[in-house]
Structure 1
Amino acid sequence: MKNILVVDDSKFFCALIEKKITESLDYQVISVGTYASAEALLDVLDIEQIDACLVDFRLPDAPEGEIVQLMAKKRIPTIVLISDITAEIRNYIWKFRIVDYVIKSDNYVTEYIIETLQRLQINPSIKIALADDSKTSLRIMSTLLSVHKYQTLQFNDPLKLLEHLKQHHDIKMVITDYDMEAMNGYDLTKSIRRLYSKQELAIIGMSARDDVLMSANFLKFGADDFIIKQSFLAEEFYLRVAVNTSRVIEYEKLTTAATKDYLTGLNNRRHFYELVEVMHNSAVRHSTPIACALVDIDHFKQVNDTYGHQVGDAVLTEIAKILESSVRKSDVVARFGGEEFCMYMVGINRENSEIFFDKLLKRVENTAIDIDGLEVKVTISIGVNINHHHVLDSMIEIADQCLYEAKETGRNKVVITPEEPKPAKE
């Protein structure tokens, strides 16, 4: 578990913020009250184990903000606590690339700190693409975002960014300049919106132009926000990025909750039908080979009764990983409920189906699932339908009949529908 370092001479505040952090986040809190104590601690502590620090700007033995410089030297992400802010102090602390500053007298201070720390935990998983044909601008933006631990990708050619977005779907935000040689920011924004909705990817437009219409036009063409290059404050920039990426992440969470099984992360039954219905109709229309399989963990109730539901959940999760890692990207795997899974594969013939499912059966049988030192081994039974049926439900129903036969005739086996007889020649 990583640590949050708090440097503040107020014992009351240290106790309060420690309580809030440990209740809300997976962190341990280390508190000291002076600059000297913090310096001595950092000399013996592994810096890699400190995820961030909260420091009071004015300490008894360092009243001029010297603690901020110390944390910058150690390259620890820093949130500065201050009783009152002036332009002079603000400019001084931002010089050290802090994460943020917080006014201590504000009643919202602890909630804001928790939100900021939560973002620092999440941000390393967030990718932001930067589009600007100025290498200097790209470097400045990337440096700013790295302070908040975002991943950044830099593109001085917007056409290359578009190509990247077509191939990779893990970008959560694009920040684009207007003036670019290959394509201006308006056209880039419109092109991105043809690929991604606002719920899927946020766009912030930027420009150094003194044009009052620039902001409105960016928003009309699909951007979510706009920043004037030469006049934005770092704290404003961070808040705009945080608000817009948070919206995309929240939508992603809602989508995941609606489409994925909460335990295994596989598609749930409802989403399976949403994905497969179109695939199935197309395969039937073009006479493409199909394999639809139902997979059931043998004697799963016995696993739960013997080891408990926590071990049972771990077994389900491991089997799900095996199934998902065995198939192609074009195939669909879902948890149908309990210990039953469904696999739908297009473009696989009878011979390859037999080889694939036999290998899958043996892989599960030979896997020892390690759960906190306890080794559990299970087997599976598989029913496979590789004949064409115009109705998807009928295809799954026949796969279920094959699964029933596999379980009734010994388990740990694959039963595949017999080959359909060819029509007799006249």
Structure 2
Amino acid sequence: MTESKRPPTPSRVPPPPPPPRAAQPPAQTAAGNRPVTPPPMPTSAGGVKVGGGLTLEKIVREAFDRGFSDVHLGVGEVPRFRDRGEMVITDYPVTDEDTFYSWLSEILRPDEIQDFKQTLDYDGAAQYDFSRVRVNIFGSLRGPAMVLRLIPVKVLTLDQLNFDPVFKDVCHYQKGLILVTGPTGSGKSTTLAAMIDYINTEMARNIITIEDPIEFVHRSKRSLIKQREVGINTLRFEVALRASLREDPDVILIGELRDRETVETSLKAAQTGHLVMGTLHTNSAVKTVERILNMYDPTEQAPMRVALAESLVAVISQGLCRTTDGKRAAFHDILINTDAIRDYILRGQLDEVDALIPKCTFDGMKTMNQSLYALYEAGRITEEVALDMSPKQNEMAQMLRGRI
């Protein structure tokens, strides 16, 4: 027993057996799998941990290769993908807490993981060679979970998206407010990125974006473009927006008009010679105008109608639908602020605006039903999809029967 406790001597032959701790399997020494957020385990070129575990990069790569838009991960759940609006379950095992935190250590710094543990919410982005991802991490009943939205590294152009010429036309305005609206996952960010890319390619402008987080990354072309991410490049969204007015911008991209202060600053910027672009979570062009006005008390709405009527360039409300070739296509509700539209907004007669849009296709306007019917006529969507995605299904049914 005494002899076995002596330290090994290099000159002895043969060498003594290795100490017991060296014989432990790698899985038991992998502190990176624990939620104490040490450095992640080394990985192979294929994205698989040396110890045999599954990395976040491998999961995201599979989603990218298969054309999926989102990855859903959570403790106590099997990883899932979103395929053109539908959830797809995978063959991966149920995620445990150690594995989940090892995935977080691949994309977050230790201090960011600690912040998440305290706040139970995190928004950010991560960059892979093949794709950029928007990251949202949150606490749930079963434990922490996260959703990763895949964002292409290459920005699609308006031509590649097969959008109407009106999308380019509104980009040529020197000042005013352009809103792209729609529910979550409707492609608003892709549309705005394509419009910014068009300005960046065709015009010599100074473009400033304020985003939370940055999704599509742009490089300066004919235009100079500076992108600021809330929490990294600026501490507060409102401060960055006010400061942007002193940064000699021609175009200001706002991630979202989230409150009255953001709306008022955006309108001020639009009225003082800047082209402002932003998003709202509304389902139609007219409802977007209503949403902005309803942020104010009835006594305050009259001056806001004046400001909006003077500043608004266009409202583009967007949705996505499944196509017959297994892809997705965008359909739009487009409002252009013509003299007639401006007059109705000043009067507060938004029902008249809704009735006027389908009659003004020569100005680039259209309703979602008109957009869906055009996709149906082109053979890109089925009659069932057109009816299912229509905001006015009775009208859509009549259009499909040739009564309108």
TM-score (norm 1): 0.25
Which protein has the larger Cα radius of gyration, Structure 1 or Structure 2?
1
TM-score (norm 2): 0.26
